Each structure stands twice: as structure tokens, then as C-alpha cells.
A and B are shown apart, each in its own frame.
Chain A
């Protein structure tokens, strides 16, 4: 039995056992349901093996929502535990595990997946392309991300969750202080999904730079595409750093190397350094696509073109470079001298300048616009003030001398949640609502959507503003409890109420999806928002080839010009379209990666070696494979176009 002992949870509790049962029942229900309705073949052919960027985008979206709920439950439990002083709802270890998984799940598996979901769905449509540059690689990216996410979540029921914080600082994350396999899960799961993300980065840079519709020069790209380009540029140069850091951390834990140990010359601070060399650009990887989404939504509903297109682009390019120059501000208190801190303090404050430019550009776009308050617009309007408050407190934290007071307190927690929630989460919900009709052919209910917004925006403010106060009063982050005499109780109780408000908002989102799926009208046309960019110029639902004829572009708002100024988007007759084949190999390879990761977590060397050989066998198979895709004939295109298009499309 010794062999099986390692799979046990080190600190079990009734909550974990209940979750185990729930997970088991869900899996059985899904398997039984798929078998009963005979959907296995459909699932395999249409989704698992798909190379269609739209379907991959939707799979990312579903995974991101799933992870949002996992991370959200973690957050609720944290707020519940700290709602009153000396609470005994959770034990210290359990609390540590929860704040660790909350951070990792929300950043790596929720926010990243959400931005990649929207990029996948929208970018090829916005640039008038048929798919991404490497469709099969795109499928592999998704499955690597998904398997990484599943591996990470498995830690909850097999072997124990990581508990060294989402930053996993050594020596705490070393074998000596983190004895369970939890941190192995952290290292390997993030590694696997990080490889997928890196491939996404390469894929999208090639797509955006090389596959734009004729006439779409760089300076005529829609702003969301610009933000996706810059984001992927940062991904490509930041993720290798994480790869190396995680590999070194894994070796320290599994092979006894001495990178981050406290003996034999090891340097624990190097982990923090490398982590943030990746980690700070990561912040911009998350926020730039959000900026891109707002830059699409605000002009659409202010009925004006985006103010300051060139300065928007310039500020993003500047942010992409500067984001690599500021990472030390995450550990001002670690002991480097005043000179180093001053340098990074200044570069940190410099990055507020391009961000400020963007805020003013959005404000000027709204100025004298005919503003239409829709759900996506509501989130964009809510974003501006809340994000600005979160942002300026960031400048406070960026001053190295003052940082000694704020560092590692709830003030910091308030700051980064108040940038990341209005910045990323609002943008994702806004983007989801905005592009939902393109994805699924109906709109989400506006009334429920507005209620949702007020719950989420109000919940965010109530949950995080009190933390500024308790943080300045000295409440450290990551403390599982505190005494009554500290006086933190009232602030934490307010936070808890705010968290409940957020939870109610997220439940409303689910209800909205359910309600709209059942009752929303399917007769909404191709362009329900009266929008401006190319993704709205094709049918609803989007045909697999996106555009029957590649559009001709004349400006950054080509579709608007075609509607209002008589620009002709689609010229010429239908031609045969070449499409890539679906493939099951990426899925099989990702399963092998999953097994490899699991085997390494538990030091099952033979399994690890076999699955690694399997991975290489898949690569070899790919090298020898001949795959030339298939063609869609003109007759088929005519048929699809006639089915989906109304009178409007006949003259194309």
C-alpha cells in the first residue's frame, strides 16, 4: 500500500471529501450523458479534433468560465474565513491552499484562457482571414492549456494542492517547507499550459502580420487586433522566462539541484526575480487585450470613431517594451540597494504615462458621442473610474520608499484586484456579451445583463475598497485569521459582503446564458450592434470559411465605410477555398503531456519516460505526415451563402 499512500490528501477535510464526491458524480454524469445521447462521435469530430479558430475560441471560453467558478469559489471561501476575527471555518493549511489555487487558477487558467478565447474567435474575422496561420498548432495550444488546467485541478483530490502562494516563492516552495506534491503540480501544470500559450503567441503573430486582408496595412488594423498583436509579442518573449524558471524549480524539487535552495550557493531570490521577469509582462498580456476590447466597444456605442488611433498604437508598443523594464518593483523590500530600487521605481512610474494616454483617448471618444447604454458599454463606462483608482494606487506602490509600508498588505491586494477586475474581468464579460451574437447567433438578455453589471461593479467596489484601509492599518495579506483587537473585522466583513455581491453577479451571468438560450430571438441579422469592423460583415452563424470572398479594406473601420460611405468590401466571383483538415494528434499528444506531468509530480519515472517517448513519437508522426487539407467547391459556397445570407448578400 505504500505506493498508493502518496496519492492521499495530506490535510483532508469534509469539504474536500464532499468535493471529491461531487467531482466523481459530475464525471459519471457527463460520461453517461454523452453515451446515452450518442454524442461521443460528434464531440470527437466537431470539437476535440477541430482546427477551426471559432470553435477553439468557444472551447477556450467554456474552459475559462469553468475556471472562473473554481477560482471564484476559492475566493468566496477566503472571504468567508476572514469575515470575522478568529474564525475557524478553515484551517491554516487549507487557507494557504485556497489562496494559492485562487491566484493560479484566476491568472493562468481563467484570465489567460478568456483573452485567448476572444482573440481566437475575433482576430481572424477582424483581419478578413480564413483561419489562423497554423490551425493545427492552435488546436494543440488549446489542449495543452486544458490538460495543464486539469492537471492543476487534480491536485485538489489527488496528492494535495500547492500552498506556497501563486508566486510560489522559494525557499517556502522548496521540498523542506512544502512537503506535499502540491508544488510539483504547480510547476508542471503551469509549464504544460505555458507551452500551449507560447505556441498561441507565435501563431497569432504570424497570423496578424502575414494574413491580413488586402488593403489592411498595419495602421488600418482594428484596435483589438493591434492589442492582440502586441499581447502575443509579449507572450513570445515573456513565457520562455517562465519556462526556464519552472524547469529550475522542478529540478530543485525532483532532482535535488541547488538553484533556489538556501545551501550550496543556491539563491532563493533568483526565483522571485525570474518569476517577475515573466510576471510583470504577464500583467500586460492580460490587460492589453482588455484595452483592445474597450477600444472596440466604446466607438461602437458612442457612435464615433476611436479618438487618437495612432497614439493608441504608440502607447501599446511603448507598454510592450516598458513592461519588461519594471519587474523589480514586485520585490522592492528584498534588500537590493536604493539605486536599483530608484531605477525600477522610475521605470514603473513611466509606464503610467502610456496607460494614461489611453484613458484620455477613451474619454475623448466618449466626448460629444451619442452614447448608447448597452451591457458592453456599461462595463466599459464602469471600467474607466474603477480602473483609474486601481491604477493610481499602483503608482503609490511603485514608489519604492513608500512601498515598504504597503508591501504584502491588503493594500496591495486591493490595488491589483481593482486593476485586474475592471481591467480584465469587466472587459471579458463585455467582450463576451458583445461578440456573443457572432459566436452563437443570439444576444444575451440586456435587462439581466444590466442587473449583472450592477452586482459585479458594486460587489467589486465593496469587496476591495475596504482592503485599502485595513491594509494601511497593517493587515498583512495571506493571513488566515486575525484577532479582534486589530479592528480589521469590520473591513473584512464588508469585503465578504462585496464578495457575495460578485458571486450573485456571476450566478446571474449563468442564468442569463440559460435564459437567452431559451428565449432570445434568433432573428438578429449579421450586425445587431451596428458595429464598425470586419467580423460583423460575415454571416450569423459564421460559415466555416469565414468570408466567401476575401474583403477589400480601405480603412480601420472598413465595415462602417461599406455601410455608410459605399465602400465595396467583397469584389469578384466565388473561388474554391482551401481548408485545413481536422486532426486528433494534438489531443493525443496533450493527453501524453498530461500523463507525463502527472508521472513527474509523483516521481513515477517509468511512466514519465514512456509518455515522453510518446510525445516525441507524435512529433515524428507529424514530421512524416502528408496533410494537404481539402477544398470547398464554388457550388458548396454558393449554397451556404444562399442559405445564410438574405437579399443583402446577393449582389456581392
Chain B
């Protein structure tokens, strides 16, 4: 039975539950918008990284470099799109 539950994955699961709980603090505690968003950004991105590395084995083959480049590239472009859109559509109107 024990061999079916590798330590790494169990720890990963526990850690993601802890991060979810930490994110929930923004709901239960009274925080300013800036602090709340910081908490959410930190917990969300750590959890995403956890999934990619622990569960999806992104770094297990020789293609590691290419796979991470692909994900980082996608992430950068996605962030540029999100913030660029907000800049042009919401914040930029004066």
C-alpha cells in the first residue's frame, strides 16, 4: 500500500491544501486590496508551479529546457496580454 503513495506527491498535495487555506485568509480576514492581491498572487503562482513540477513531471526528460521555455513564454505573453489590456482598456483612460 505504501508504495502507492509516494512521499513527494503526498507532500505536494498537503502543501497545495495549505496554500489554498492561506489564500482563503483574504476572505476571512479583513485586508487591504493590495495585501490581499499579494497573498493571492503568491499562493496561486506557487501552487501552479507545484502542479507543473511535482504532478506533471515537467522536468523529468531531456526536453525539460524546451518545456519550461514554452511555459515561461506562454506565461510572459499571457501576463503582457492581461496587463496590456488593463492598461489600454481600464487604467489608461484619464
Contacts and interface: CB of A to CB of B under 8 A. Distances in A.
A151 to B, nearest CB: 28
Given A277-B81, A324-B81, A335-B93, A340 B87 contact: yes
B64 to A, nearest CB: 13
Interface in A260-282: 267, 269-270, 273-274, 277
B94 interface: yes
Q: Which of A269, A340, A343 neighbours the largest number of chain B CB atoms within 10 Å of its CB?
A: A340
A145 interface: no
- A contact residues, range: 20 to 34
A323 to B, nearest CB: 10
Interface string B53-94: 000000000010010000001101100110011011101111
B74 A237 contact: yes
A239 to B, nearest CB: 12
A336 B92 contact: yes
A389 interface: no
Contact of B94 (A209, A325, A337): A337
B81 A241 contact: yes
Interface residues on B, range: 10 to 19
A116 interface: no
* Interface of A, helix, strand, loop or mixed by DSSP: helix
Interface in A317-333: 321, 324-325, 327-328
Contacts of B84: 277, 325, 327-328
Nearest to B91: A340
A340 B85 CA distance: 11
A274 B94 CA distance: 21
A339 B81 CA distance: 17
Interface string A141-177: 0000000000000000000000000000000000000
B46 to A, nearest CB: 24
A237 B93 contact: no
Interface string A272-313: 011001000000000000000000000000000000000000
Contact of B80 (A269, A324, A337): A324
A125 interface: no
A210 B66 CA distance: 10
Contacts of B94: 337, 339
Contacts of B80: 324-325
Given A325-B84, A328-B84, A273 B77 contact: no
A233 interface: yes
A339 B66 contact: no
Nearest to A210: B63
A210 B62 CA distance: 11
A340 B87 CA distance: 7
A267 B87 CA distance: 15
Given A277-B85, A337-B93, A324 B66 contact: no
Contact of B93 (A233, A274, A336, A343): A336
A328 B73 contact: no
A26 B87 CA distance: 51
Nearest to B66: A209
A534 B77 CA distance: 34
A225 to B, nearest CB: 16
Nearest to A277: B81
A316 to B, nearest CB: 14
Contacts of A277: 81, 84-85
A237 B92 CA distance: 25
A335 B91 CA distance: 12
A335 B87 CA distance: 12
A324 B89 contact: no
Contacts of A241: 81
Nearest to A325: B80
A231 B2 CA distance: 48
Nearest to A205: B70
Contacts of B76: 321
Contacts of B88: 273, 328, 336, 340, 344
B73 A233 contact: yes
A269 B80 CA distance: 18
19 contacts: A210-B63, A237-B77, A269-B89, A273-B85, A273-B88, A273-B89, A274-B85, A277-B81, A277-B85, A324-B77, A325-B80, A325-B84, A336-B88, A337-B93, A337-B94, A339-B92, A340-B91, A340-B92, A343-B87
Nearest first, the 4 closest Cβ-Cβ pairs linking A and B are A340-B92, A336-B92, A337-B94, A237-B77
Given A237-B74, A343-B87, 12 more contacts: A209-B66, A241-B81, A267-B89, A270-B85, A273-B89, A277-B81, A324-B77, A325-B80, A335-B93, A336-B88, A340-B91, A340-B92
